[in-house]
Amino acid sequence: MGEVLSVRELSKTYELKKSVFSIRSSKIRALDKVSLKVNEHETLGIVGESGSGKSTLARCVLLLERPDLGEIHFCGVDLLKLKEKELKPLRRWMQIVFQDPYSSLNPRKRVIDIVSEPILNFNLVDKGTVREKVKDILLSVGLDESFVDKYPHEMSGGQRQRVAIARAICTEPSLLVADEPVSSLDVSIQAQILSLFLKIKEERKLSMIFISHDLNVIRFISERVMVMFKGKIVEEGEKEEIFSNPLHPYTRLLLDYSIRGRGRIRGDEDKEGACVYYGRCEWRGKRCANEAPLLYGTENHRVACFLEGTY
Partner 1 sequence: MMEVLKALWKTSLGRAGILILLPMFFCAVFAPVIAFHSPYEPDIKNILSPPSLSHPFGTDMLGRDVFSRVIYGSRISLLVGFVSVGISVVIGILIGAISGYYGGLLDNLLMRLVDLVLCFPTFFLILAVIAFLEPSIWNIMVVIGLTNWMGVARLVRAEIMSIKTKDFVLAAKASGLSNLRIIFTHILPNALSPVYVVATFGMGGAILTESALSFLGIGVQPPTPSWGNILTQAKECVEVAWWLSLFPGLAIFFTVMGYNLIGEGLRDIFDPKKRLSVIRV
Contacting residues toward partner 1, per CB under 8 A: 59, 62, 64, 88-89, 91-92, 94-96, 98-100, 103-108, 117-118, 121-122, 153, 164, 167, 171
Shortest distance in whole angstroms from residue 105 CB to partner 1: 6
C-alpha dist (Å) from residue 220 to 2, 36, 139: 23, 20, 24
Please give the full DSSP string across 142-163, using - where no structure is assigned: T--GGGTT--GGGS-HHHHHHH
Residue 21 CB contacts under 8 Å (≥ 6 apart), including other chains: none
Between 59 and 302, CB nearer to partner 1: 59
Shortest distance in whole angstroms from residue 181 CB to partner 1: 11
Q: In 3-state terms, what secondary structure has residue 80?
A: helix
Between 25 and 300, CB nearer to partner 1: 25
Between 164 and 234, CB nearer to partner 1: 164
Pairing of the two strands 207-212 and 175-179? parallel
Between 68 and 240, CB nearer to partner 1: 68
Which of these, 117, 158, 301, 284, lies nearest to 226 by C-alpha position?
301
Contact 36, 237 (CB under 8 A): no
Give residue 205's region: left, alpha or beta (phi > 0; psi -120 to 50).
left
Between 50 and 103, CB nearer to partner 1: 103
